[in-house]
């Protein structure tokens, strides 16, 4: 056994090292790489990927993992979880014919370009033939990967959030439909009164950058183990626990955009910086799941970052940078602005309250696809109908409707639901945290360290060594329960809007 | 043969791909990587390097290269040069016992740290034991690598500039000693009169950055195939012909520092951007040699960038950024400032005229080391004596003397001479260029495109496919001749200083 574990670690070391190189090349691609580099870069990545796959797909590695998996009861708990995860993904790779996977990766590569074109021209028909083929492959893929317990769409849901199935998501979204949809409609009818004059001002980028450095300190970001760059779309990228980077994008006509994108990404980043150092170099060095990650970024962004107590403390610092632009604006004005609810078309621009409705829509559609109730041809019609049901708005064009998100162009079916689930996890964590500490007071401190201590102890430090369900149970004393999310939203927005 | 060449190209593709990853990781390390990343990063690089060496040191690769080398007369000229180069370096690797090489790389790694400490504390004795061992190894290394034609120090000189030996460098430096040293002493006694008031001003970084964007256009830098970042020490880094990056460092109390470091690095960068695209993916995709590279960067920096005609055109743009700081300063003031000669201690801060004296000193010492005329123990004394001879200044401490450069701590003996040689190549190119175009007029144009066209056609486009000596002969119609360098310097500085 000992020897086998050593051999496994040798393979893991290699796989991690290639991953490190790919990760860093990817970071460079999304931040500073010049446009003309990509053809040559693609060739270099291709060569390295071939070398990498020789290792990951080697018979010896597979044999080692299989043997360890069979004897997993003899491993310590953490290695047992890791081997179980690796075994699961290797088994899956084996089930799908390599030839079909290669064809599919070419297909998604082309589909991405077609989607971009279609979106730019707001013409779904350009994208449709690609999406048809992607759906066709994904259905075949699901068939290949089905197990005794996982069938149909569940196969995909499980890939993004292990242990979550259609049954559980249905319960979750049904609760939202019942309680949240009518509430959102009521709120959306109410107008929030505040001084909006600053929304027309220009917020100089250099000053935004200075404020972000301040925010980094407030959110306890360890810049000796991180770095912040600019990119088209904000993201977080980790190269081990010791190097967790984030990006943002500055808009001079919208000062809150970069503020909340930075706080959001710092939520991801702190999760990774706080993982126990003993997981460095293992596959457990990242978060427990997609939704668990999203729970941390949204906890930072919405629950802490959009709270009144937080800005009671920090708004004066923002005003220091923008004396003229924020002249006469109160904390209340600002807090109302950053929490204003609007029924709108674009998911990525949605507020905290309407956001889960955008996800519900996508979940409904994905379910219908894998239940065979809808084909690619019907999708815009179906999208627009459900959108009207939830938002009461007519979709004006494909660009602001079915074509707005990239996810389906690379076949990421099953991904969207984790976004809403993450917010719900966050609300349940808040409920539990309030029992241990004075949350509002903690938001008002110089830094969010007290909040982070709780998150680190209950969630972050475990990295990927526990399943999401285990973490939730241990952190909150209960299984996942979506009611905390609905309660949190209704409580917050009833108060803000003075609506019962 | 055809099959063998294909096999060689397969190996080359892999070696290049790993090199690409290492290069990009290195770029990241020198620009944005956070301090805490390096331990983990080192481990990842170690794993990848092992994978890489398996390929480069494989028997099959060696066999392929050897066979191709034996049949090199059947290859096209470019591939013949490439195979000859590769064969030369593989043969060398074989001559030195791997164990000794590994020990040596550990030694230089530790020596680097010791040198830093020694320099900070200005105490040579901290560094001496390491340098002793490095010299000891390098002498053994030279023995291992000696050939019929290359003996002693020549082995090392040839590594940095193929075809240049002690005999040729002696001729070169003797000419400098004879003609330049007395001239420099004469100039240094003369005071340059100009308005120095701007030297005490503060030049805001943001404005410097704006001016650098202007300079990039003037120097015809293709930013679609490049990127400029900041780093402690400026450098150029290429990832193929399509991605050539530079860095700079801004000092608010010294506006010319970043201007000339950027122009210098752009000289390197344009060389690489102008290499014929057919060399992409080969080992010929960089410059012909160290000195040839340095000839291009110094041509840009000193011959073009510090010329009066260049600033006749562009000084007004700099004044636009710094209206107050440069108020009342004329082009003549500025041109005098950027060409002012000063006998000083630090090589990297030296002006164009005294720079080669710093190199001569190092060349003299390296020669003595490999002739066994001096040991590590005596070096500070020898340094200070020769320094006094050339500069007429007494060295105050080791930090500003023997410890100032990093090069010897990683055993780069033979490297320094290429710096001076590059300047001399540049002057010979200028002499030839003046026959084909009106150089002063070309410096005054919106961009330096006319000058670049000449350089591209005579030098850049060949990349590494020709030997430096071939390029010089073809570009200038003559073998290398140092007299052009001496003439250029004496002519320029006599006029500037009004000294005969």
Per-residue pLDDT tens digits for B105-153:
888 888 988 999 999 999 999 999 999 999 999 999 999 999 999 999 9
- CA–CA dist A297, A292 (Å, integer): 9
Nearest CA distance, B224 vs chain A (angstrom) = 5
Chain B contacts of A48, Cβ < 8 Å? 17-18, 21
Which chain B residue is nearest to residue A240, measuring alpha carbons?
B40
Alpha-helical segments (H) within A227-302: 255-273, 290-298
What does the pLDDT read at residue A101? 87
Q: Give the integer Cα–Cα distance in Å for B15 and A220.
A: 42
Q: Do A239 and B20 lie within an 8 Å CB cutoff?
A: no
Three-state SS for A281? Answer: coil
Q: How many CB atoms lie within 10 A of CB B465?
A: 24
**Percentage of chain B modeled with pLDDT above 90:** 93
CA distance A34 to B271: 18
Q: Per-residue pLDDT averaged across A212-219, rounded?
A: 98
| DSSP code string of A156-219 | HHHHHSTT--HHHHHHHHHHIIIIIHHHHHHHHHSPPP---GGGGS---HHHHHHHHHHHHHHT
Nearest-CA residue of chain B relative to A206? B206
> Cβ A20–B44 below 8 Å, yes or no?
yes
List CB contacts (< 8 A) between B225 and chain A: 34, 36-37
A460-482 mean pLDDT: 97
Candidates A16, A21, A40; nearest CB to B21: A21
Check B28 against A25: CB less than 8 A apart. no
- pLDDT of A380-423, one tens digit each? 999 999 999 999 999 999 999 999 999 999 899 999 999 999 99
Calculate mean pLDDT across residues B276-295: 97
**In whole angstroms, what is the distance from residue B166 CA to residue B367 CA?**
8
Cβ contact (<8 Å) for A17 and B229? no
The mean pLDDT of B215-239, rounded to a whole number, is 96
Chain B contact set for A206 (CB, 8 A): 206
| A67, A89, A238, B146 from A60: Cα distances, Å | 11, 16, 29, 44
Residue A221 confidence (pLDDT): 98
Residue B98 pLDDT: 84
Flag whether pLDDT at A500 surpasses 80.
no
Residue A113 predicted with pLDDT over 90: no
- Of residues A283 and B30, more confidence is placed in A283
At A284 the pLDDT is 97
Strand ranges of the sheet holding B244-248, from the earlier edge strand across to the other edge:
B226-230, B244-248, B236-238
Share of chain A above pLDDT 90, in %: 92
Task: Please say whether the beta carbons of A321 and A211 come within 8 A.
Answer: yes
**Which of the following is catalytic: A265, A321, A325, A366?**
A265
Q: Does position A106 have pLDDT exceeding 90, yes or no?
A: no
pLDDT for residue B178: 95
pLDDT band (50, 70, 90) for residue A105:
confident
Alpha-helix runs per DSSP H in B249-307: 255-273, 290-298
- Summary mean pLDDT of chain A: 95
- Is A326 in contact with A319 (CB distance < 8 Å)? yes
For chain A, what is the radius of gyration of the CA atoms? 23
> Following CA atoms A146, A150, A153, A155 in sequence, which dihedral angle do they give, to the nearest 10 degrees?
-70
**A interface residues, B as partner, C-beta within 8 Å:** 13-14, 16-18, 20-21, 24-25, 27-28, 32-37, 39-41, 43-45, 47-48, 51, 206, 222-227, 229, 239-243, 245, 280-281
B82, B265, B294, B301: which one is catalytic?
Answer: B265
B222/A48 Cβ within 8 A: no
**pLDDT mean across residues, chain B:** 95
What residues of A are in contact with residue B33 (Cβ under 8 Å)?
227, 243
Give the contacts of A489 (CB within 8 A, at least 6 positions apart): A180, A183, A352, A353, A427
DSSP string for A428-484:
HHHHHHHHHS-HHHHHTSSSSHHHHHHHHHHTGGGTTSS-HHHHHHHHHSS---THH
User: In angstroms, rounded to a whole number, what is the distance separating the alpha carbons of residues B344 and B401?
Assistant: 11
Mean pLDDT of A58-76: 96
Could you give the C-alpha distances from B497 to B64, B306, B341, in angstroms and in order? 59, 15, 9
**Partners of residue A227 in chain B, C-beta under 8 Å:** 32-34
Which residues fall within 8 angstroms of residue B301, CB to CB, at 6 or more apart?
B260, B263, B264, B267
The string of DSSP codes covering B195-261 is: --GGGGS---HHHHHHHHHHHHHHTT--GGGEEEEE-SS--EEESSTT-EEEEE---TT-HHHHHHH
* pLDDT for residue B228 is more than 90: yes
Residue in A21, A37, A224 nearest the CB of B243 = A37
How big is chain B by its Cα radius of gyration, in Å? 23
pLDDT score of B298 more than 90: yes
Q: How far apart are CA B169 and CA B157, in angstroms?
A: 9
ipTM value: 0.92
The answer to whether A455 touches A274, Cβ cutoff 8 Å, is yes
**Rounded-to-integer distance, Cα B101 and Cα B130, Å:** 15
The answer to whether the Cβ–Cβ distance between A33 and B225 falls below 8 Å is no
A304-345, pLDDT tens digit by residue? 999 999 999 999 999 999 999 999 999 999 999 999 999 999
Residue in A85, A77, A60 with CA at minimum distance from that of residue A159: A85
* Contact (CB<8Å) B37/A239: yes
The minimum CA-CA distance between A259 and chain B, rounded to whole Å, is 22
In sequence order, the 6+-apart residues with CB closer than 8 A to the CB of A149 are none
Percentages (nearest 5) of helix, strand, coil residues in chain A: 70, 5, 30
Select from B14, B24, B25 the Cβ nearest to the Cβ of A47: B14
CA distance B318 to A380: 55
Provide φ and ψ at B229, rounded to 5°: -120, 180
Contacts of B50 (CB under 8 A, 6+ apart): none
CA distance B17 to chain A (A): 5
A499 has a pLDDT exceeding 90: no
Please tell me the number of Cα atoms within 13 Å of B178 on its side-chain side: 10
| pLDDT score for A109 | 83
Do the Cβ atoms of B242 and A39 come within 8 Å?
Answer: yes
pLDDT at B94: 86
What is the per-residue pLDDT for B500? 75
Cα Dmax for chain B: 69
Q: Inter-chain contact B229–A21, Cβ cutoff 8 Å? A: no
The CA distance from A236 to the nearest CA of chain B, in Å, is 15
Count interface pairs A-B at CB distance under 8 A.
Answer: 118
For B81-111, the pLDDT digits (tens) are 999 999 999 998 889 998 898 889 888 888 9
pLDDT in tens, A2-16: 999 999 999 999 999
Q: Is A280 a catalytic residue?
A: no
Nearest to A35 among B33, B43, B224 (CB): B224
Is the pLDDT assigned to residue A143 strictly greater than 80? yes
Q: Is the dihedral of CA B281, B283, B288, B289 positive or negative?
A: positive
Q: Closest by alpha carbon to A425, among A291, A297, A302?
A: A291
* Burial (CB count <10 Å: 0-12, 13-18, 19+), residue B423: buried
Model confidence band, residue A84 (pLDDT cutoffs 50, 70, 90): very high
Q: B interface toward A at CB cutoff 8 Å?
A: 13-14, 16-18, 20-21, 24-25, 27-28, 32-37, 39-41, 43-45, 47-48, 51, 206, 222-227, 229, 239-243, 245, 280-281
Question: How many other C-beta atoms can be found within 10 angstroms of the C-beta atom of residue B25?
Answer: 21
For A156, counting Cβ atoms within 10 Å of its Cβ (0-12 exposed, 13-18 middle, 19+ buried), the class is buried
- What average pLDDT score do residues A174-195 get? 94
So what's the pLDDT on residue B13? Answer: 96
Report how far residue B294's alpha carbon sits from residue B290's, in angstroms, rounded to the nearest whole number.
6
Q: What is the mean pLDDT of residues A196-212?
A: 96
Per residue in B426-474, pLDDT tens?
Answer: 999 999 999 999 999 999 999 999 999 999 999 999 999 999 999 999 9
- A398 and A122 Cβ atoms separated by less than 8 Å: yes
**Chain B residue closest to A226 (CA)?**
B34
Query: Which one of A24, A223, A225 has the shortest CB-CB distance to B25?
Result: A24
| pLDDT score, position A442 | 98
Q: Residue B34 is nearest to which of A24, A41, A223, comparing CB atoms?
A: A223
Closest-CA residue in chain B for A51?
A: B14
Mean pLDDT of A352-369: 97
A52/chain B closest Cα distance in angstroms:
10
Give the gap in angstroms from C-alpha B103 to the nearest C-alpha of chain A: 24
Check: CB of residue B443 under 8 Å from CB of residue B216: no
**What is the distance between the alpha carbons of residues A116 and A126, in angstroms, rounded to a whole number?**
10
């Amino acid at each position: 056994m000992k020897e086998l574990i050593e051999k496994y670690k040798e393979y893991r070391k290699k796989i991690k090292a290639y991953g490190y190189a790919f990760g860093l090349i990817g970071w460079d691609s999304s931040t500073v790489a010049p446009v003309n580099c990509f053809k040559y870069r693609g060739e270099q990545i291709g060569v390295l990927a071939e070398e990498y796959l020789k290792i990951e797909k080697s018979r010896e590695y597979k044999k080692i993992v299989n043997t360890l998996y069979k004897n997993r009861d003899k491993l310590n708990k953490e290695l047992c979880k890791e081997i179980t995860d690796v075994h699961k993904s290797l088994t899956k790779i084996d089930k799908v014919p390599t030839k079909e996977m290669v064809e599919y990766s070419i297909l998604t590569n082309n589909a991405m370009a077609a989607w971009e074109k279609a979106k730019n021209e707001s013409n779904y028909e350009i994208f449709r033939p690609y999406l048809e083929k992607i759906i066709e492959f994904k259905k075949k893929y699901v068939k290949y990967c089905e197990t005794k317990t996982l069938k149909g769409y569940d196969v995909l849901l499980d890939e993004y959030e292990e242990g979550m199935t259609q049954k559980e998501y249905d319960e979750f979204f049904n609760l939202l439909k019942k309680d949240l949809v009518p509430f959102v409609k009521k709120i959306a009818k109410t107008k929030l009164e505040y001084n909006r004059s600053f929304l027309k001002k220009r917020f100089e980028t250099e000053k935004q950058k200075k404020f972000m450095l301040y925010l980094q300190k407030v959110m306890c970001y360890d810049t000796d183990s991180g770095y912040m760059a600019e990119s088209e779309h904000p993201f977080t990228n980790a190269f081990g626990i010791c190097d967790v980077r984030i990006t943002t994008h500055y808009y001079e006509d919208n000062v809150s955009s970069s503020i909340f994108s930075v706080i959001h990404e710092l939520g991801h980043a702190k999760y990774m910086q706080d993982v126990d150092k003993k997981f460095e170099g293992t596959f457990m060095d990242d978060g427990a799941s997609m939704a668990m990650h999203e729970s941390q970024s949204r906890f930072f962004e919405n629950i802490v970052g959009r709270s009144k107590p937080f800005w009671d403390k920090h708004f004066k610092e923002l005003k220091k940078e923008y004396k003229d632009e924020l002249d006469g604006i109160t904390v209340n004005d600002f807090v109302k602005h950053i929490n204003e609810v609007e029924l709108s078309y674009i998911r990525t621009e949605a507020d905290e309250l309407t956001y889960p409705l955008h996800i519900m829509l996508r979940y409904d559609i994905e379910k219908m696809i894998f239940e065979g109730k809808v084909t690619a041809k019907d999708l815009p019609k179906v999208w627009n109908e459900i959108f009207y049901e939830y938002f009461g708005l007519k979709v004006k064009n494909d660009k602001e409707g079915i074509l707005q998100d990239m996810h389906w162009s690379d076949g990421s079916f099953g991904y969207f639901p984790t976004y809403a689930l993450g917010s719900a996890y966050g609300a349940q964590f808040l409920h539990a945290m309030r029992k241990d500490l004075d949350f509002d007071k903690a938001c008002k401190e110089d830094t969010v360290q007290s909040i982070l201590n709780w998150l680190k102890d209950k969630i972050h430090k475990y990295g990927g060594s526990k399943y999401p369900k285990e973490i939730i149970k241990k952190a909150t004393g209960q299984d996942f329960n979506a009611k905390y999310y609905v309660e949190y939203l209704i409580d917050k927005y009833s108060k803000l809007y003075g609506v019962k």
